[in-house]
Structure 1
Amino acid sequence: MDVPGPIRVLLADDHPVLRAGVKYLLQSDPQFVVVAEAADGEAVLRLLEQEAVDVLVIDLAMPGMGGLQCIKEIKARGLPVKIVVFSMYGDEQYIKEALRAGALAYVEKEAVDKELLAAVRAASRGRFYLNQGRMQNLLGALLLDKEQVDPRDPYQVLSAREREVLRLIARGYSLTEIGELLSLSVKTVETYKSRIMQKLGFCKKSQLIAYALEQGVLGAREL
């Protein structure tokens, strides 16, 4: 489904000259308007709370909070923005990590003129975008990875941050204390807790703690 009116874009990259070039490219098409710019992940999160944004175009390598961590935080907070990664890295591992974190599209910087507009347009409609060669390679790799995860072990579906929150809950920390330890808002910690319980199939905190103890999450099991 198309976004009504111009597609509102937040552009995040720590190189001002590159941002200016990409902004010019996007706004050369009347379908796009760059409503804000950011140089790091923290600024992205602040702007998403302030601006109405349809699509975030974000680099992975930025100072402070990098692009991948920022994407994960966006998803944890439930912010309704579609994400396009725009990166110099073409390694498939980076692409897989970005897609797993919640990006819909991945474009390499060397292909900016050919693919970025198409990627932003596709993402705004909720569609994935990779160039054809990348798509074929990654579909096979992602399916193989999925087969290698043991479906009998729900712990494997938890992200690293979710495992960290689970460990702290099991140790008796309150949500406020967890937020202070991890530099997260209480609302974000509550979201992590809800996601953990949903993924593990629990409805009570006591079940969560019992599971953590059973799995050795308090210290023996690697987070």
Structure 2
Amino acid sequence: MIRTILADDHKLFCDGLERVLNDSGHFQVVQKFYNGQSLLEKMQAYNADLLIIDVEMPAINGFDAIKRIRLNNNTSKIVVLSMHEESVFSQEAFMLGADAYLNKSMESMQLIDSLLKTCQGAKLFPAASMTTKIESPFSEREQEILRLIASGKTSEQIAERLKISHLTVKAHRRNMMRKLNVNNAAELITKALEMGFLYRLSQ
């Protein structure tokens, strides 16, 4: 059984979703939260495999909650289940490290199938979220440094090549990691590749 947490401020919807998931035979809803603050405070205690979260919630919204969760938890799958169809929402979810962005209007069986695929490692987003519509957040200098980091160059080697201080390189590196919400150079390169930034930079 896939241990699942629900986070949605609409209690009636949350209860209905719980029944759908439990009746499927694949999921066990271990807790429901109705605002982002209580989710962040108590989520760790439930050791969940899957978090299904809405965007709009009181106290702390879904996107801010995902950002904070990903700072300490890279194992739980996170699915955003929202009524918003605008691509900016799915793009934001993708950039913050969610595993899927699904619409609340989908049929129950389609939802179950999508959740199972996500738990098996699939990334499910509207096509626009994973295309060039996501603009690179990096400056030209950062893009240049990103390419050199990806090629295996150290901060000192990059500094020598670009004729700048190695402290400047490290500052750019920290800034890029902050923009993608990652903790080290390896995660920076991995996420830049996943989001298409590094591929486009190499063209």
Say yes or no: TM over 0.5: yes
Among 33, 47, 56, which residue is 2:28 paired with?
Answer: 33
Name the % identity.
Answer: 25
CA distance in 2, matches of 1:115, 1:159: 35
**Aligned partners of 2:59 and 2:137: how far apart in 1?**
35
Q: Tell me, what secondary structure is at the counterpart of 2:31?
A: strand
Q: 1:129 to 1:197 in 2, by over 3 A?
A: closer
Give the conservation status (yes or no) of the 8 Å contact 2:94–2:129.
no
The worse-fitting range, judged by mean Cα deviation, of 71-80 and 7-16 is: 71-80
Contact 1:106 1:119 in 2 (8 A): no
Q: Which residue of 2 aligns with 1:121?
A: 116
- Structure 2 counterpart of 1:29, which letter? S
Structure 1 residue 139 corresponds to structure 2 residue 130:
yes
8 Å contact kept, 1:36–1:47 = no
Distance 1:153 1:97 in 2: 24
Alignment of 1:1-12 (within 5 A): 6-12=1-7
Taking the TM superposition and a 5 Å limit, the aligned residue runs for 1:1-223 are: 6-78=1-73, 80-130=75-125, 134-135=126-127, 137-141=128-132, 145-146=135-136, 150=140, 151-152=143-144, 155=172, 157-159=176-178, 195=183
Q: Is the 8 A contact 2:177 2:185 kept in 1?
A: no
Q: Distance in 2 between matches of 1:64 and 1:55?
A: 22
Runs of 4+ more than 4 Å apart:
146-149, 196-200
Q: Which runs of 5+ in 1 are unaligned?
A: 1-5, 163-191, 201-223
The answer to whether the 8 Å contact 1:48/1:79 transfers is no
TM-score by length of 1: 0.63
Q: Distance in 1 between matches of 2:85 and 2:15?
A: 22
CA RMSD of aligned residues (A): 2.8
Q: Is the 8 A contact 1:105 1:123 kept in 2?
A: yes
Contact 1:68 1:101 in 2 (8 A): yes
Is the 1:84–1:119 Cα contact (8 Å) retained in structure 2?
Answer: no
* Amino acid across the alignment from 1:51: Y
- 1:146 is displaced (CA, Å) by 4.2
Per-residue CA deviations over 1:186-215 (Å, capped at 9, x if unaligned) read xxxxxx8xx268789xxxxxxxxxxxxxxx
1:52, CA displacement in angstroms?
1.8
